[in-house]
Amino acid sequence: MITNGVTPAGRLMPWACWLDNRRTSASLHSMPKLSIRDLRVEDREVLMRVDFNVPLQDGEITDDTRIEAALPSIKHLLSGGAKLVLCSHLGRPKGEPEARYSLKPVAVRLGELLEQDVFFATDCIGAEVTAKRATLGSGEVILLENTRFHAGEKVNDREFAAALAGNATVFVNDAFGTAHRAHGSTEGVTHHVEKSAMGFLIERELEFLCDKLESPERPFVVILGGAKVSDKIEVIGALLEKADALIIGGAMANTFLHAQGHRMGNSLLEADKSELALDILAKAEAKGVRILLPVDTRMTREFKEGAETKVTAPYAEGGEVGDDWEGIDIGDLAIEEFCTEIAAARTIVWNGPMGVFELNSFEKGTKEVARAVADSEALTIVGGGDSVTAVKKYNLGDSMSFISTGGGASLELLEGKELPGVAALTDV
């Protein structure tokens, strides 16, 4: 028996988005979990988990995208009269305070974006924080200090979660980037409030990563890059059941090429995953899914900006990466082939760069693929931190249908896994 896309064991069905026709037509899509749209928050203390894990340099925010992504939900709650308490992590502190990971600069920036005062608490739990929260008026907001300054956050300690929930009666999770973690601020707090709901950001993530991929318009093409086959083996397995074609670039393509017997020189690859790569290719062929690997590779002797590069001959004609060379990008013929495939697609999911795009000398493959995705008339979904970074680098964000805010979370959702931060929310 399966109900609302969840198996009796509590696992989400792969690709299911829990459609529920009882939801109003005003909703962009339907979910079995309570939405921020369903809440009445006037004069109520609301705890909201946001993803303010922004990059900092010398105490200054270098990219406020994640703060801006949370604004629709924050403004909705404040306009509804909530006494809003925000919590988030930042960086990777080891369960104790570290000044460089303080959220204080975020509070300042959030206040600028909201054009109102944002109070800041120097901790996320404790008597002083409780007292500050008690002074909040309707339409006011406070940002708590980094939740990962306490070891109880990552281990989902019950006492920590209860203290974080405090006197809040409602919890809103809008931190999709951490929804795949069962932490105190994502899962634990839901056991200490009356209602828990998803924010607009999570709602939109699920709309694109679930609803729109439930029955994708075809051809459905997936572009995968990055370093390791092992990191994406599960999502590849899931996509073989759904996609028409998989384009594979980045260092993970080197593993496949190596498995096929091609000489890859000093290229980054997983030699111990050769059998796994060949098994994937065999399964794809059996299922009628085309896997496109680079037919040539751009390589260098020096891993630095301005280094000399050249492209191998096509592998079908004996091309190889020399012993003292390293593959750092897909080659020119591969770019042409990949872009042709992208142009014919009607649904595209892109996760992972084609090479070391961070250096301009090695960026051509990623740049051209990004442009091809942007120029496509297909539904285009971009996920994964490096892919998103590439889209921003080339100013192509406005040309994409949707850019996901969660790397690990989006991959796990594509794999058909349960996201604890969503599963814990109140059922409709």
148 is catalytic: no
Global pTM reads 0.85
22 is catalytic: no
* Catalytically annotated residue among 91, 385, 393, 417: 385
Rounded CA-CA distance 326/256 in Å is: 15
Helix 250-259 and helix 229-239: axis angle, to 10°? 80
* Catalytically annotated residue among 66, 154, 212, 298: 66
**What pLDDT is stored for residue 42 in this prediction?**
97
* Catalytically annotated residue among 237, 290, 408, 417: 408
Beta strands in 262-417 (DSSP E): 290-292, 297-300, 309-311, 326-330, 347-351, 379-382, 402-403
- Cα dihedral across residues 73, 76, 78, 81: positive or negative: negative
Burial class of residue 76 in the structure, from the number of CB atoms within 10 Å of its CB (0-12 exposed, 13-18 middle, 19+ buried): middle
* Catalytically annotated residue among 228, 346, 371, 393: 228
228 is catalytic: yes
Beta strands in 62-177 (DSSP E): 83-87, 119-120, 141-143, 170-173
66 is catalytic: yes
**What pLDDT is stored for residue 399 in this prediction?**
96
**What pLDDT is stored for residue 128 in this prediction?**
96
In the chain the domains, ranked by start, together with CATH numbers, are 36-205+418-423 (3.40.50.1260), 218-377 (3.40.50.1260)
Rounded CA-CA distance 385/404 in Å is: 9
Which residues of the chain register pLDDT less than 50?
1-30
**What pLDDT is stored for residue 285 in this prediction?**
96
Say which amino acid occupies 146: N
Beta strands in 304-405 (DSSP E): 309-311, 326-330, 347-351, 379-382, 402-403
